[in-house]
Amino acid sequence: MAYERLSRRDFGRLMGLAGMGAAAPGLVAGCAGGTATAVRAGAAARTWKVSGKAGAGLGGFDTAVKKLMQDRGIPCGSLAVMRNGRLLLARGYTWSDDTSLSVQPTSLFRLGSLSKAVTATAIMRLVQDGRLSLSRPVTELLTLTPPPGTTADPRLAQVTVRRLLQHLGGWDRDVSGDPTYRDRQIAEQLGVPLPITRAHMVTHGAGLRLEHDPGSTYAYSNYGYLLLGEIVAKVSGTTYADYVQRNVFAPLGITRTLPAKSLASGRAPGEVPYFSQYTGRSVFDAAGTTVPAPYGSFNAENRTAMGAWLASAVDYVRFTKIFDAATSVLTASSVATMFAKPETGLNSGGYYYGFGWNVRDVTGGRNTWHDGSLPGTSTIVTRRYDSVTWALLFDQRDDPSGLTYGYNTFSAPLHAVANGITTWPTTDLFGDYF
């Protein structure tokens, strides 16, 4: 997507804050109930707040996260670290000149593609309950009627649930772009007003040509996970979000998670504000109003299954307990299926994509991980072979520094800290948050 840079003055104008100066009470409630500054202040004006708790000897994680944020001017961050099922660190980090902004360990962030593991878990639960088969073709589960004037690729019938989960459906965004970001094109093609719906996105995709034979080539596909969300709804007989909240989150006592909203006016209680130096065209009106990139340049409501759950860092590491041992959500056999090697084997990076997780077998066990990215969002989750897990969430993915945002950049300093710890604390902070 193309974005334009957003100035300090423009942010206030675009958010309806003209005449209110740099501070913008009421734009977004603070992460713990206060207010947030609409524009990011210079480094000299900022101060640090660190909330939450950490076991003895884990201060290196605080240092690493603060450096990542300070180098890039990131206002809000959160880190949760778990080992052997115990929550050892739960932090909220605020670097801002707004004294009312205070990130807590329970503050909510858009997850981006960390949501894919949630969708994969919901699918696997339906399989485990005997309500769905991984070998079932998507064409037998959903109505995939292409738009007028287009023809469905005959290979679509070879796209199974398993292949959708492993990004083996045949769509390739590196070749033809991501069809889940074509709101205005889809509205014009189908003759419908903005905002479009998930059903419109499904119809548009049904008329696309596959770049690869299904099962032959790994190619990351948001559209595939859109279809998986629709399959969860169809098979369960309820909404995708309701099924996930009841069958994936609730059994673990996770109650804060919910689907993200696109606009600042829909921000959930306890949700952080999102920042970007860019603007974009709104996908909610025909005029294409210029908006801050995190607020209306994409439709979060359509992206829940592929990338738009809201959760805190402590919620997300608790969710990953599903994959550490048998739980009431999934059996050990179901988890093993999710991490099984796909029919294509290893990709060029020496790892493979399971069901919602990147997977690499290493000496001593297995590492699994994922990252998430949206305008105003950068997230990572890491599950190490030595039973150490962390989730790191930020409310920004770009800044004028030119420094990179991404999984390797954010995970490397955390790995360095973890590798240097010889004695881990045995405390468990989960009781403080659940």
8 Å CB contact between 218 and 178: no
Q: What angle do CA 64, 316, 110 make, to 5 degrees?
A: 80
Three-class HEC string of 28-71: CECCCCCECCCCCCCHHHCEEEEEEEECCCCHHHHHHHHHHHHH
Secondary-structure percent of the chain, ordered helix, strand, coil, rounded to 5: 35, 20, 45
Report the C-alpha gap between 253 and 288 in whole angstroms.
41
- The rounded mean pLDDT for the chain is 92
* pLDDT score for 4: 65
Per-residue model confidence as pLDDT tens for the chain (434 residues): 556 665 444 444 444 433 333 333 223 334 544 333 334 556 779 999 999 999 999 999 999 999 999 999 999 999 999 999 999 999 999 999 988 899 999 999 999 999 999 999 999 999 999 999 999 999 999 999 999 999 999 999 999 999 999 999 999 999 999 999 999 999 999 999 999 999 999 999 999 999 999 999 999 999 999 999 999 999 999 999 999 999 999 999 999 999 999 999 999 999 999 999 999 999 999 999 999 999 999 999 999 999 999 999 999 999 999 999 889 999 999 999 999 999 998 988 899 999 999 999 999 999 999 999 999 999 999 999 999 999 999 999 999 999 999 999 999 999 999 999 999 999 999 999 99
Rounded to whole angstroms, what are the CA distances from 383 to 94, 363, 421? Answer: 25, 14, 16
* pLDDT score for 31: 54
* Tokens, residue 309: 């759950």
* pLDDT score for 41: 55
Edge-to-edge strand list for the sheet holding 388-394: 47-54, 86-96, 76-83, 388-394, 377-383, 365-374, 358-362, 352-353
* pLDDT score for 207: 98
Report the C-alpha gap between 109 and 106 in whole angstroms.
9
Secondary structure (3-state) at 200: helix
For 271-321, how does the pLDDT look when each residue is reduced to its tens digit (9 = 90+)?
999 999 999 999 999 999 999 999 999 999 999 999 999 999 999 999 999
* pLDDT score for 1: 56
Residue whose token pair is 């878990």: 121
| Sequence-separated (6 or more) residues with CB below 8 Å from residue 118 | 111, 244, 248, 309, 319, 356
Q: What does residue 31 show for φ and ψ, rounded to 5 degrees? A: -60, -20
| pTM: predicted TM-score of the whole model, two decimal places | 0.92
Q: What does residue 189 show for φ and ψ, rounded to 5 degrees? A: -60, -40
* pLDDT score for 411: 98
| Sequence-separated (6 or more) residues with CB below 8 Å from residue 225 | 116, 119, 164, 305, 306, 307
For 102-155, how does the pLDDT look when each residue is reduced to its tens digit (9 = 90+)?
999 999 999 999 999 999 999 999 999 999 999 999 999 999 999 999 999 999
Report the C-alpha gap between 169 and 378 in whole angstroms.
26
